[in-house]
Chain A
């Protein structure tokens, strides 16, 4: 019996039935079929507990949402103290929490001028695209093939057709895609002179974290400026110290005109996202401050939490821990690859963002399942199922990191076995 006071379920199976009946049958059956039928119940630190009681170490972190782990006690204290004073606030009016948080964010990126708030990443991407269109008076948006920026109207149009066609939301004449790591392809589109912006993640997460070639991102940014387009950096997964610096673009010597962040900005406990814009792009806020409005965007509670998240990420001890975690996994994964070179063929890494390549078109699905069985939750890249997204949090400690590698090693024979059977079926 799972009695939560407000509702209760007899068993995990009963919950799954209800979830399929009232919520989303497709998702329920998908995870069942994948062999990872997780229903997250309790959670704390970097641990998840499935309703069955099974404990999993979280290396998915919802793309960095749980950068500090689940229900980090300091962040929970911040939110609780906020609830004694604030609520979401009134989005029409200036507010102390919003002003303070906006300042804090802008100070992390001195060439930026304003922070515009949303509640989710896609919303921040909407703001970014609208801002670029306002600033250039052009409509076209370029993104990369297999790029991913969310599921709302404009953001989804930048993405894979799997997510647009089904809703008739593709807009081929306004949204163009070019291959990743191909600056020439980008230039061919920019040359046409009608492009408002190029939007790209510093390291495309959902595509399995392929690393940009040396100079690629800088060239893209320069090309945008050459042809009068804006360069938008999507830092939803690569921001917040996950690549070792506050924003991924900082590590590549970029100065995007606009960048967006979300996910971990709310510490995993209160949704908030932000779009930062430079002075030129931010002019619409002067022309018509209410041109973009969002009731839950920039809620004061979210601002309070976000403010503290940034402060925590700037602490020298956290910065140092990130270096330790990054170094540890660089070394450990190299060892692991040497031990399991028959299936494990590559590591893409920057900071605590890792993509692990397996030598099979669905390799990461099998590895994800094998890890799940060994108490580790890491998700495959939905747009490249050879690659497992492996995303340690910024305050993971040495014992947990070691435990992850021990479990990883133990999971490899099972992964090998799963891959063999799926090869036979294929």
Chain B
């Protein structure tokens, strides 16, 4: 007998994924009225659990995908635990808000079931990040990892789910598809049982999310330009660029793709970059690098997330073993050089414009390839900073910091995020760093302008409650026994219910 089955078998993974969505809907039903303390308790537990295993999962992710640097992935994972929680701790998305002046009361309504994609580039950080956002916004989440990172993503999700449940979250609040595939993801994205999609990944996937018929928060790819003005401290700027571009081997969409300066400053920038650990390519090296990175079929995926020395070796460029990034040089800022496209590896293309006006024009054009994303500005000339920011079709311009980390909220006060909203310029519904507030809508109770209304006299306590223990299911075993509710228990339940009814009126 050959290996093929004689009968066709329904897609087991797809039906398991559909059932996960149903389970999530149950969890969301119970979780949507948890109060802020209960939410923070769960978030705290999940942050702690995530932090404890940040390094293990970083290691696992690098092993499984071959992308990035363990130490840096650890930092990324950590960012999504306590840092993220601290950032949002005081953002209460659970209690109604009362605006006496405008006579409006707002009641938060979580989305329900979030279906979230986790890309291969940040397979664990994204799981951490999206799970935390779901928890903080009182939503349930079903994650779908990238097929090349499914083991580490799914394990991380299980780890967080266990911590959440132990802290009182309903069973099924955090789940992960175990065997993802494109048809499965498309099927679930189009399901009327999910309430919002958080799409991160390749452009095709993000477009599919927007075409699914469901509300989606999708983000596009980046192609960040870093402009180094002659007013910059060039050594500090170069250090930022090298730190940023080598961070996790440039596997963040916020990493710089191009460093742009003015002709007069190019020599300075080259020297400073070299000092900071960059290998500045001569013409021949630049050509080798271009030939290696772009094959007939587009960007050479084997280079993604690899180190500078690894890539140099493959491209046939001799470099110092301490080299942290490769800098090909394209002397004139033209439109067509492939080296001006996005590169998720530590390769940063240097170019120079004749004057600031040309710099802006070029930067703008480059940014249309990563529209809505991020850019960096190095310098102290604030007039130029404003002109640059006004001209660039991006929603973040970070100043005198590494863009990889800065735009994602590591070294700036931007919200820590692994979803960098690319807004209308980048064909997305959201232009900010995505946070839990994007997963909640509010019911607004509005009184007439001229009609007297006593907003203080309104009891809003019924909109949330300290959670009852009922819906948690400690183990998910096929032999788990369902509750037998006998009459006495029922009577107890009724009494409790009556008491709580009385309490709330």
**Assembly CA distance A84 to B19 (angstroms):** 27
A85/B6 contact (C-beta < 8 A), A317-B19, A327-B483, A397-B22 known: yes
State whether the Cβ of A21 lies closer than 8 Å to any Cβ in chain B. Answer: no
CB neighbours of B6 from chain A (8 A) = 85
For the complex, is B449 an interface residue (Cβ under 8 Å from A)?
no
Tell whether, in the assembled complex, residue B482 and residue A323 are in contact, meaning their CB atoms are under 8 Å apart: yes
Is the beta-carbon distance between A330 and B26 smaller than 8 angstroms? Answer: no
Assembled-state Cα–Cα distance A395/B493 (Å): 25
User: A77 and B10 in contact (CB under 8 A), knowing A334-B494, A338-B497, A395-B22?
Assistant: yes
Please determine whether B479 and A81 come into contact, CB atoms closer than 8 angstroms. Answer: no
B480 touches A323 (CB 8 A): yes
| Chain B residue with the shortest CB-CB distance to A72 | B15
Contacts of A347 in B (CB 8 A): 485, 487, 490
What is the CA–CA distance of A148 and B94 in the complex, to the nearest angstrom? 52
Chain B hits for A324, CB < 8 A = 23, 26, 171-172, 471, 473
- The answer to whether B25 touches A399 (Cβ under 8 A) is yes
Cβ of A48 < 8 Å from any Cβ of B? no
A421 at the interface (CB under 8 A from B): no
> Would you call B15 and A211 a contact (CB within 8 A)?
no
Q: Is A315 at the interface (CB under 8 A from chain B)?
A: yes
Q: Which of B8, B9, B478 has the most CB of A within 10 A?
A: B478
CA distance A211 to B479 in the complex (A): 21
Residues of B contacting A352 with CB < 8 Å? 482
A351 surroundings in chain B (CB, below 8 A): 482-484
Within 8 A of B (CB), among A319-365: 319-324, 326-328, 330-331, 333-335, 337-338, 346-352
Could you mark each residue 63-82 of chain A with 1 if its beta carbon is under 8 Å from any beta carbon of chain B, else 0? Answer: 00000000000100110011
Are B26 and A321 neighbours in the complex by a CB distance under 8 Å? yes
A109 to B497, CA, bound (A): 39
CA distance A321 to B476 in the complex (A): 10
B476 contact from A245, A320, A327, Cβ within 8 A: A320
Q: Which residues of B contact A82 (CB under 8 A)?
A: 7
B184 nearest CB across to chain A (Å): 14
A211-B486, A330-B485 as given contacts; A323 in contact with B8, CB under 8 Å: no
A79 to B478, CA, bound (A): 24
- The answer, yes or no, to whether B481 is at the interface (CB within 8 Å) is yes
Q: Does A398 contact B (CB under 8 A)?
A: yes
Shortest beta-carbon distance, A371 to chain B, in Å? 20
Evaluate contact between A335 and B497: CB separation under 8 angstroms.
yes
B159 adjacent to chain A (CB < 8 Å): no
Assess whether B483 is in contact with A320, with CB atoms less than 8 Å apart.
no
**Is the CB–CB distance between B482 and A397 below 8 Å?**
no
Question: B465 on the interface (CB 8 Å rule)?
Answer: no
Do A317 and B482 touch across chains, with their CB atoms under 8 A apart? no
Q: How big is the A interface, by class?
A: 35 or more
Interface residues of B in 18-72 (CB under 8 A from A): 19-20, 22-23, 25-26, 28-29
- Taken together as a complex, chains A and B put the C-alpha atoms of A198 and B335 apart, in Å, by 87
Interface residue? B290 (CB, 8 A): no
Chain B residues with CB under 8 Å of A153's CB are none
A381 in the interface, Cβ–Cβ < 8 Å? Answer: no
Instruction: Report the Cα distance A334→B486, complex, angstroms.
Output: 11
Q: Does B193 contact A (CB under 8 A)?
A: yes
**Among B19, B28, B486, B487, which residue has its beta carbon within 8 angstroms of that of A321?**
B19
B23 touches A330 (CB 8 A): no
Nearest CB of B to A352, in Å:
7
Decide: A319 and B23 in contact? CB cutoff 8 A.
no
- Does B16 contact A350, Cβ atoms closer than 8 Å? no
Task: Select one of B19, B476, B478 contacting A395, CB under 8 A.
Answer: B19
**Is the CB–CB distance between A327 and B470 below 8 Å?**
yes
Is A316's beta carbon under 8 Å from chain B? Answer: yes
Nearest chain-A residue to B491 (Cβ)?
Answer: A334
Is the beta-carbon distance between B482 and A321 smaller than 8 angstroms?
A: no
CB distance from B312 to the nearest CB of A (A): 48
Q: Which residues of A contact B25 (CB under 8 A)?
A: 397-399
Number of chain B interface residues as a range: 35 or more
> CB-nearest residue of chain A relative to B482?
A244
With A and B bound together, what is the CA distance between A335 and B16 in angstroms?
Answer: 32
Q: Which chain B positions have C-beta within 8 A of A243?
A: 482, 484
B498 in the interface, Cβ–Cβ < 8 Å? Answer: yes
Q: A330-B493, A399-B25 are in contact. Are A316 and B7 (CB under 8 A)?
A: no
B219 to chain A, nearest CB (A): 29
Which residue of B is nearest A347, CB measured? B490
Residues of the B chain whose Cβ atoms lie less than 8 Å from the Cβ of A244: 480-484
Which chain A residue lies CB-closest to B24?
Answer: A398
CB neighbours of A85 from chain B (8 A): 6-7
Q: How far is B491's CA from A338's CA once the two chains are assembled, in angstroms?
A: 9
- Which residue of A is nearest B26, CB measured? A324
Which residue of chain B has its CB nearest to the CB of A353? B482
Q: Are B29 and A398 in contact (CB under 8 A)?
A: yes
Q: At the interface, yes or no: B477 with Cβ under 8 Å from chain A? A: yes
With a cutoff of 8 Å between Cβ atoms, the chain B residues found around residue A320 in the complex are 23, 171-172, 473, 476
- Within the assembled complex, what's the spacing in Å between the Cα atoms of A351 and B483? 6
Residue contact B10 to A349, C-beta cutoff 8 Å: no
Minimum CB distance partner of B21 in chain A:
A397
Closest to A323 in B: B473
The minimal Cβ–Cβ distance linking A309 to chain B, given in whole angstroms, is 13
102-153 of chain A: CB within 8 A of chain B: none
Task: Give the most central of A77, A82, A319, A352: most B CB within 10 Å.
Answer: A319
A402 CA to B28 CA in the complex, in Å? 13
Name which residue of chain A comes closest to B172, CB basis.
Answer: A320
Per-residue CB proximity of B185-214 to A under 8 Å, as 1/0?
000000001000000000000000000000
Q: Are B22 and A321 in contact (CB under 8 A)?
A: yes
Q: Any chain B CB within 8 A of the CB of A251?
A: yes
Complexed CA–CA distance, A144 and B20 (Å): 41
- With a CB–CB cut-off of 8 A, which chain A residues contact B9? 78, 81
What distance in Å separates the Cβ of A396 from its nearest Cβ neighbour in chain B?
9
Q: Is A383 an interface residue (CB 8 A)?
A: no
CB neighbours of A51 from chain B (8 A): none
Q: Determine if A169 is an interface residue (Cβ-Cβ < 8 Å).
A: no
Q: Which residues of B contact A334 (CB under 8 A)?
A: 490, 493-494, 497
Complex interface: chain B residues within 8 A of A81 (CB) = 7-10
In contact, B480 and A319 (Cβ under 8 angstroms): yes
Task: Tell me how far the C-beta of B107 lies from the nearest C-beta in chain A, rounded to whole angstroms.
Answer: 19
A contacts, CB < 8 Å to B: 74, 77-78, 81-82, 84-85, 211, 243-246, 250-251, 304, 312, 314-324, 326-328, 330-331, 333-335, 337-338, 346-352, 395, 397-399, 402
A-B complex: 5 closest residue pairs judged by Cβ atoms:
A244-B482, A317-B19, A351-B482, A334-B493, A324-B26
29 chain-A/chain-B pairs, Cβ below 8 angstroms: A74-B10, A77-B8, A78-B10, A81-B7, A85-B6, A85-B7, A244-B482, A250-B481, A312-B15, A314-B478, A315-B478, A316-B478, A319-B476, A319-B478, A319-B480, A320-B23, A322-B482, A323-B482, A324-B23, A327-B471, A330-B483, A334-B493, A338-B494, A348-B487, A349-B485, A349-B490, A350-B485, A351-B483, A397-B25
- Chain B positions within 8 Å of A, measured between CB atoms, are 6-10, 15-16, 19-20, 22-23, 25-26, 28-29, 171-172, 193, 470-471, 473, 476-487, 490, 493-494, 497-498
